[in-house]
């Protein structure tokens, strides 16, 4: 089933939120590596993501494998205090002319607060291109 860019942005929000939740901690404490199950909430959308970190402590360059309940996988990398990852969804956006185009979704999550942004971009495959950005929040649930 094809989804609009708004629905894909919601998926992107979920991914970003899940990565952010994995590093939950106080602003003064070192963030934790991403491990466990997280909810990702952005706008009116919610998803789950399971994270498995390669690190015992969250240090620069730490990575975490992500698997969503929506069928996508990605790898988040900690850099500059933020978890970042991206996902490409084939035919993820309906262009104004009715054609479908791939959508590229980028997540950036603050490692301490697990709040961040998700950006969805049709990368110019739609006439004029379509870019949306939305806030997201991750919460660890297991």
Q: List, for residues 46-91, the tens digit of each pLDDT value.
A: 899 999 999 988 899 999 999 999 889 999 999 999 999 999 888 8
Q: What is the 3-state secondary structure (H, E, C) of the chain?
A: CCCCHHHHHHHHHHHHHHHHHHCCCCCCCCCCCCCEEEEEEECCEEEEEEEEECCCCCCCCCEEEEEECCCCEEEEEEECCEEEEEEEEEEEEECCCCCEEEEEEEEEEECCCCEEEEEEECCCCCCCCCEEEEEEEEEECC
Q: 84-132 pLDDT, tens per residue? A: 999 988 888 888 888 888 888 999 999 999 999 998 887 777 877 778 8
- Domain ranges in the chain are 5-140
Angle at 46 between CA 142 and CA 127, to 5 degrees: 140
């Amino acid at each position: 089933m094809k989804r609009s860019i708004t629905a894909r942005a919601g998926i992107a929000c979920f991914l970003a939120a899940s990565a952010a939740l994995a590093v939950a901690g106080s602003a003064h404490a070192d963030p934790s590596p991403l491990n466990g199950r997280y909810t990702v909430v952005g706008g009116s959308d919610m998803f789950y993501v399971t994270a498995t970190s390669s690190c015992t402590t969250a240090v620069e360059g730490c990575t975490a494998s992500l698997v969503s309940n929506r069928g996508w996988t990605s790898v988040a990398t900690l850099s500059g205090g933020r978890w970042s990852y991206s996902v490409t969804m084939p035919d993820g956006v309906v262009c104004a002319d009715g054609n479908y185009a791939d959508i590229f979704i980028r997540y950036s999550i603050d490692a301490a607060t697990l709040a961040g942004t998700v950006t969805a971009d049709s990368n110019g495959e739609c006439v004029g291109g379509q870019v949306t950005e939305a806030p997201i929040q991750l919460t660890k649930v297991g």
